[in-house]
Every structure is written in structure tokens, then in C-alpha cells.
Amino acid sequence: MLLLRCPLPLLLLMLPLDSRPQKLPTRDEELFQMQIRDKAFFHDSSVIPDGAEISSYLFRDTPKRYFFVVEEDNTPLAVTVTPCDAPLEWKLSVQELPEEASGEGSGDPEPLEQQKQQITNEEGTELFSYKGNDVEYFVSSSSPSGLYQLDLLSTEKDTHFKVYATTTPESDQPYPELPYDPRIDVTSLGRTTVTLAWKPSPTASLLRQPIQYCIVINKEHNFKSLCAVEAKLSSDDAFMMAPKPGLDFSPFDFAHFGFPADNNSGKERGFLKSSKFGRQTSPKPRVDLHRVCIGNKNIFTVSDLKPDTQYYFDMFAVNTNTNMSTAYVGTFARTKEEAKQKTVELKDGKVTDVFIKRKGAKFLRFAPVSSHQKVTFSVHSCLDAVQIQVRRDGKLLLSQSVEGVRQFQLRGKAKAKYLIRLKGSKRGASMLKILATSRPNKQSFPSLPEDTRIKAFDKLRTCSSVTVAWLGTQERNKFCIYKREVDDNYNEEQKKREQNQCLGPDTRKKSEKVLCKYFHSQNIQKAVTTETIRGLQPGKSYLLDVYVIGHGGHSVKYQSKLVKTRKFC
């Protein structure tokens, strides 16, 4: 018994039979393994090999027929058809083998055209038919001998499909087996995360075959086969590697691939003649679709999803030996809504402190009580950069990243209301101070130079003093310098953690104060001041801080400077 897989079946369908009596060969496993490795053998062939999955293509409204031979009665038979990106109509039928092929007759062979006509014209007995986009099976424990025909048709669009047939279904088992409960469970649901769990495939847990699980996430619908997923993905979009432990999966830089759902594709045969696959030149719209293979674990968290959004989740068990897959029952879930943000009211001319969680956001509202020509927003980011957006009556006026102190002046409008959105850093929590005013002379934040570093002069170091310099501005401000002794192993990482620019001199000990002085220069090129700090200990390290204090009393700290006195003088 055999599903034809060698040149002899091709002889039956394409060549005159030999004049000697013939009997179809039995399965030669060594020959078969050699032939299925030779992909060109079955390329564009109408013969289905025994025990190997083939992939092929259908043009819309153009039927395709495949053949295979079962030589002996009472032979087990299994046929699986997998539609990819369109529903299929398919039918399996059987007819008696041509008399000369049975091996019982002899004499002159029938002419080739007569054999082909005999195969084509005889419809045979229909065994099974199906219409739809499910992966469907025909299984029989006892099939009659004969010439089997598999007819396929796509009425919607050009499409791919896969076919697998075997006469040894009990031993082959190329598709992973599903557990008794093949559903995917949603075990945890958040605003941006969904945790999935599923029961392992018996193929892995009992048969010890290598199985890996692949998850597919999208916003449109569930998929019934991995073949359907592949039709949606870009041809150069490969499977992702399994994520590192604890990170799981951050999707959503998506690509899309598929054959065009063009209702005219079947009519425009002039175009199809010039293209082997009949693909349109205009790309289809991108879709949110992604897949990731995660090895053999059976719990997984999908992260970085959008709040209040419905997602569809599909799971496929893939036999890594055969690269054939079986679909679990897909599921869907809607992420939780984003927590409603409280809007903070800003008072004209008053500084407001704002704290933002990592990756979080805060909303503020400013409504000047009187008519105004201009409105000024002053922002002091204490740690990392923050993102600010300002809308006036719904219209976006400003979108900027702010590091340090920034001031923005916008044109005013009578009875206008301003909505400010502040977005924090991805690296950690953010702190800032913000002032909004419609009075142009109301400025609480001091002006700063572009460079807020403190420079130390190495040649002027002594065992008891250091000399430093810093830049000022054209605006007359008060500068206060503070020192603090630190350990010799004090490093840049510790210094970075203390770089909160919003902490003022009022948080420092009185013993750490060196001096305060006023300073400015109309010539910005000469706005530099120096100071020698005395009374230090030999060979000791000190952290120096300079604060500039504005007219409204608000202070901003320059970047801290680590210095060390000479040990020997």
C-alpha cells in the first residue's frame, strides 16, 4: 500500500505504461526520505507524497487536483488540508485504478491521451467534502485501494494552502497533539499586560518529542492555523527568539504581509500572466500582528499593550522536528482602562511641585482669571528630562522635552483655558516645579547659563584650599556655595543620586555653607566668577554645590563638583 511518492506514480499519470505486467511498488522508506529532501521533485507536481506536508497555491476560481494511489484494501488513511488566508472548498474521492496499472493485465499499453482522459473523466466515489477555513481532516482506519483525487478551489481570492497525507497515521503523528482542554486561559489582566496559561501538549509531556509554543497577538481576530498567520506577516519577518527570563515580550513594531484580497484578481488574467503568484504591486494596510516563540514553558505575560483595547491571542504547538503545528483554541481579552487622572489647578504666579511615577503622566490646568496677551510657563525638572505638552482649548501649542530650567511664552487669548500634560522619564520617577502666569514680570525661577558645571583649577589646589569657577548670566542673582566632606570612595554613581536640582540651601547644614554673593555681567562672555574655598583638610575629598537664587526665592542647584585637596604640600 502506498501514497505515491516516487517517479513511478508520475509514470502512471504522465507516461505510457510499460508493455510488461506492472504492480505499484510498496513504500521504500530510504528512497522516500531521499525524495522528500529533494523539494524540486514535488514542486508544481500533482502527486501527493506519503507522510510529507506540501505547500501550494491556488488562483481564485481556478481548481487544482492532486492524486495519490492506495494499492491495497483495508489500508489506514489520513488527509489533512490547511487553508492559509482564505476559505477553501475541497473534496476527496476515489476511483478504481486503471486495469493495466493493477498488475493483472498484459498487452500493449494504452495511449497516453487515453489514460489521461480516463483519469480526468471518471469522477469516482466521493469520500469527503468540506468548505471553510478550518484545518479539516479525513481519517479512515480501512480505506479501499484505488486512485484518490483531492480537488481544491478558492472562490474568494488567490491563496496558499497545505496538504498532508499518510498511510501510516498511527506511527507518523507529525502534528503535535492537543491536551484534553485545548483552551488558553487569561490568568491576569492589567492596563498594559495580559498573562496567559495553557496545558502542555501530550506530544511533549508523554511522547517526549521537541515541542515549542508560539503566541500570536493581534487586534482583529483569532487565527486557525500558523499558515494563516504567516500569510499576514512580512516575508522577511522571522520568528523572534525566546525572551530573557522576566522580560517576556514587548510587542508592537509590526509588519504585515498577505496576498491581496482583490475582488478583481480572478478577472484580470492579463496581469496574472506576467506574475507567477499574481501579487498586486500596492501593499495592503499594516495590521497589528505579532508572533513570538517562547520555548516549552506554558505561562507567558504579554506586556506594553494599550489600555482599554481588545486583543486576540492564539497559541500554536510546533513540532520542531517536523516544523508542523497544531492550534489551541484562541481567546481574546480587553485590557483595563487607564486610571483617570486628577487634574491639578495651577494658580497664577505660584510655583507648584509635581511628582510623576516612572513612565507616568500628570495633568494640570491653568485658567487665567483676567484677559491676557501672553502666558508664561516656567518648568524646573529636578532629575531627568520630562516631556511637556500645552493645549489651549484643545489645540496643541507646545510639545517639548525639558531638562533643567526652561521658560515658554505663548500668545494669550481671552477666557482661554490651558491643559498641561507632563510625562515622566522611562528610567525612574520624575520631580519638577512648574509656574504659570499671565503677568510677564512675575518670574520666580532664576535664569541659568547653558553650562551649569563647576570648574576646579588643579594647579591652584593646596592642602587646605581649592579654587573653582562657574558661569553666571546678565541677570543679577544671588549665588551660595556649600561644601561637604565625603569618603575617598565616593563615586559618580553616588553623586548622580544626589543631583536633585530642586533641593535648595534650606536643606543644607549651616556648617556646610561657605559664602553667598551677588553676581552678574552685561557681557555674557565675561559672566564668570571664581571663588577660593579655604579651611579644608589635607588629602580629603569634598563635594561642592552652587545654588543660584532668583528674585522669587526659588533656587536652582548647579551640577555638583567632587574635589580633593593635596595630601602633601
Q: Which regions of 350-488 does DSSP assign to beta strands (E)?
A: 352-356, 361-366, 374-381, 386-392, 395-402, 405-411, 418-423, 430-437, 455-456, 466-471, 477-486
Q: Are 229 and 290 in contact (CB under 8 A)?
A: no
Distance, C-alpha 116 to centroid of its chain: 52
Distance, C-alpha 355 to centroid of its chain: 30
Q: Is 50 exceeded by the pLDDT of residue 2?
A: no
Task: Find all residues with CB under 8 Å of 246, minimum gap 6, and list them.
Answer: none
Task: Find all residues with CB under 8 Å of 77, minimum gap 6, and list them.
Answer: 70, 138, 139, 140, 143, 148, 165, 166, 167, 169
Specify the range with the lowest mean pLDDT, choosing from 105-119, 316-330, 369-383, 471-485: 105-119
Q: Is 60 exceeded by the pLDDT of residue 176?
A: yes
According to DSSP, residue 109 is labeled: P
- 533 DSSP β-pair partners: 466
Alpha-helical (H) ranges within 19-178 are 29-37, 39-42, 112-121, 169-172
Q: Are 274 and 288 in contact (CB under 8 A)?
A: no
Average pLDDT estimate for 141-152: 89
Q: pLDDT tens digit string along 54-77?
A: 888 889 999 999 988 888 888 899
Share of the chain above pLDDT 90, in %: 32
Distance, CA of 229 to CA of 36 (rounded, Å): 25
Burial label for 264, CB within 10 Å (0-12, 13-18, 19+), is exposed
Segment of 291-295, 336-340, 440-444 carrying the highest mean pLDDT: 291-295
Distance, CA of 190 to CA of 310 (rounded, Å): 12
Residue 558, sorted as left (phi over 0), alpha (psi -120 to 50) or beta, turns out to be beta
Average pLDDT estimate for 476-505: 81
Give residue 553's pLDDT band: very low, low, confident or very high (50, 70, 90). confident
Q: Is the dihedral of CA 113, 118, 119, 122 positive or negative?
A: positive
Average pLDDT estimate for 117-130: 72
User: Locate cell 481671552: which residue?
Assistant: 414
Question: Minimal CA–CA distance to 564: which of 495, 455, 488?
Answer: 488
Residue 358 confidence (pLDDT): 84
Distance, CA of 119 to CA of 102 (rounded, Å): 14
Give residue 259's pLDDT band: very low, low, confident or very high (50, 70, 90). very low
All structural domains of the chain: 40-96+125-172 (2.60.120.380), 174-238+287-338 (2.60.40.10), 344-437 (2.60.120.680), 454-564 (2.60.40.10)
Q: Is the dihedral of CA 136, 168, 4, 53 positive or negative?
A: positive
Residue 61, sorted as left (phi over 0), alpha (psi -120 to 50) or beta, turns out to be left
Distance, CA of 376 to CA of 324 (rounded, Å): 64
Distance, CA of 70 to CA of 167 (rounded, Å): 8
Determine the residue type at 519: F
Tell me the pairing of strands 466-471 and 64-70: unpaired
Q: Are 378 and 366 in contact (CB under 8 A)?
A: no
Question: Minimal CA–CA distance to 224: which of 356, 16, 80, 71?
Answer: 80
Residue 334 confidence (pLDDT): 93
Residue 99 confidence (pLDDT): 61
Q: Is 70 exceeded by the pLDDT of residue 264?
A: no
Residue 270 confidence (pLDDT): 31
Question: Minimal CA–CA distance to 419: which of 385, 386, 377, 381?
Answer: 377
Kindly state the cell numbers that stand for 7. 517517479
How confident is the prediction for the chain on average, in pLDDT? 78
Sheet of strand 299-302: strand arrangement: 185-189, 194-197, 299-302
More confident residue, 102 or 356: 356
Task: Find all residues with CB under 8 Å of 370, minimum gap 6, and list them.
Answer: 438
Distance, CA of 74 to CA of 80 (rounded, Å): 19
Question: Minimal CA–CA distance to 214: which of 278, 111, 289, 132?
Answer: 289
Residue 409 confidence (pLDDT): 87
Distance, CA of 427 to CA of 409 (rounded, Å): 29
Q: pLDDT tens digit string along 428-448?
A: 888 888 989 888 666 677 888
Kindly state the cell numbers that stand for 520. 552678574
What is the pTM assigned to this prediction? 0.49
Q: pLDDT tens digit string along 373-397?
A: 888 898 888 888 899 999 998 899 9
Query: Cα 61–64–68 angle (5° rounding)?
Result: 160
Query: Cα 152–157–159 angle (5° rounding)?
Result: 60
Please report the DSSP string for 502-568 in residue order: T--GGGS-GGGEEEEEEE--SSGGG-EEEEEE-SPPTT-EEEEEEEEE-TTS-EEEPPPEEEE--S-
Share of the chain above pLDDT 70, in %: 76
Distance, CA of 178 to CA of 135 (rounded, Å): 14
Q: Is 90 exceeded by the pLDDT of residue 232?
A: no
Distance, CA of 2 to CA of 71 (rounded, Å): 6
Q: Is 70 exceeded by the pLDDT of residue 360?
A: yes
Q: How far apart are the first and last CA of the chain?
A: 101
Question: Dihedral angle at the C-alpha atoms of 397, 403, 404, 407, nearest 10 degrees?
Answer: -10
Residue 442 confidence (pLDDT): 62
Q: pLDDT tens digit string along 386-425?
A: 999 999 988 999 999 988 788 888 888 888 899 999 998 8
Distance, CA of 303 to CA of 290 (rounded, Å): 13
Task: Find all residues with CB under 8 Å of 494, minimum gap 6, and list them.
Answer: none
Q: Which regions of 61-144 does DSSP assign to beta strands (E)?
A: 64-70, 75-83, 88-95, 125-132, 136-143
SS3 232: helix
